[in-house]
Amino acid sequence: MITSILRGFLFALALGSTADAADLPLFDAHLHYSGNAWQDFPPTKVIGLLDEAGVRRALLSSTLIEGTLRLYQHAPERFVPELRVYRKTTSLASWPAERAMWFKDPELMPFLKAELKRGIYRGIGEFHVDGHEVDTPVMRELVDLAVAHDLPLHAHSDADAIAKLFSFNPQVRILWAHASMSAPPGVVGEFMARYPKLWADLSYRELYSGTKIDPEWKTILLRFPERFLYGSDTWMPFRWPQVPALAREARDWLAQLPHAVAEKIAWRNAIDLFGE
């Protein structure tokens, strides 16, 4: 407890956190630096966009994995690497084929185990799998691998897949990408109540109702303030220039929450889940 409080204090002190939501530092829990972004957004330009957005740390995965390594090596204090599962993808054009079968790939586990020897990864994902796909020997072994290494899984999945992943090993920790993307907030809240090791990033979720935070979302965020994380999702190059505007929009709805809750969603929860 003391260690967690100290980490949070040092993070806020270093980043200049204030009582004003407009100045909240952000830990972005959903960034990608995939191959099609490298030419137009070299590392220095990426850092400039994050600086403009007030994003001080970021959870990063990429297709190709080389993108994650490039940014991490450029600024290891800035990026928290995740290990993505798409080992065969050599270009984004080939990604859909791998998306359709990676969870059956018998060569995936040796690849992941070898990559984990780098000692830099804080999570596994973001990966895409739904309930009708998830029950394979590879996925069961992946869940056990995550538990053995104490690494959260970052799952872009429907609710059925999330339930099945927890059934494989209840000790697994899962970060639900996009807070399910499509399930209504009530369903997200039900899953948060059912699974205490479930977190969710809020990228691509519409939390506004007019100019006010959606009341149903507000209820869920206040009920589980330690379990939601800010995210933007730079899944394609066009999203990188939007990062500052997405951060400003997030601070608008964060300002409508109690400040302690806003801080947790903005950065504290990510620090607690992934460490400094």
- Which residue, 172, 104, 113, is CA-closest to 143? 172
Specify the pLDDT at position 5. Answer: 37
Share above pLDDT 90 across residues of the chain, in percent, rounded to a whole number? 83
Half-sphere exposure of 266 (CA within 13 A, CB side): 35
- Which residue, 66, 48, 55, is CA-closest to 31? 55
pLDDT in tens, 124-145: 999 999 999 999 999 999 999 9
Long-range Cβ contact pairs of 208-215 (< 8 A, separation 24 or more): 208/249, 208/252, 208/253, 212/256, 213/253, 213/256, 213/257, 214/185
Could you give the CA distance from residue 91 to residue 176 in angstroms, rounded to a whole number? 25
Give 104's contacts (C-beta < 8 A, 6+ positions apart): 136, 138
pLDDT in tens, 193-221: 999 999 999 999 999 888 899 999 999 99
Please tell me whether the overall predicted TM-score, pTM, comes out greater than 0.75 for this model. Answer: yes
Question: How many C-beta atoms surround the C-beta of residue 136 within 10 A?
Answer: 16
Between residues 276 and 273, which one has the greater pLDDT? 273
Which of 94-98, 132-136, 220-224, 252-256 shows the lowest mean pLDDT across its residues? 94-98
Q: In the predicted model, is pLDDT for residue 108 greater than 90?
A: yes
- What does the chain come to in residues? 276
Is 208:248 a contact under the CB 8 Å cutoff? no
Write the burial class of residue 64 (CB in 10 Å: 0-12 exposed, 13-18 middle, 19+ buried): buried
Q: In the predicted model, is pLDDT for residue 246 greater than 90?
A: yes
| Residue 101 in tokens | 């079968």
pLDDT in tens, 40-88: 999 999 999 999 999 999 999 999 899 999 999 999 999 999 999 998 7
- Which H helix or E strand runs over 46? helix 43-53
Topology (CATH level 3) of domain 2-11+24-274? TIM Barrel (3.20.20)
Is 121:115 a contact under the CB 8 Å cutoff? yes
Is 81:61 a contact under the CB 8 Å cutoff? yes
Q: Which amino acid is at 23?
A: D
Specify the pLDDT at position 6. Answer: 40
**Residue boundaries of the structural domains of the chain:** 2-11+24-274
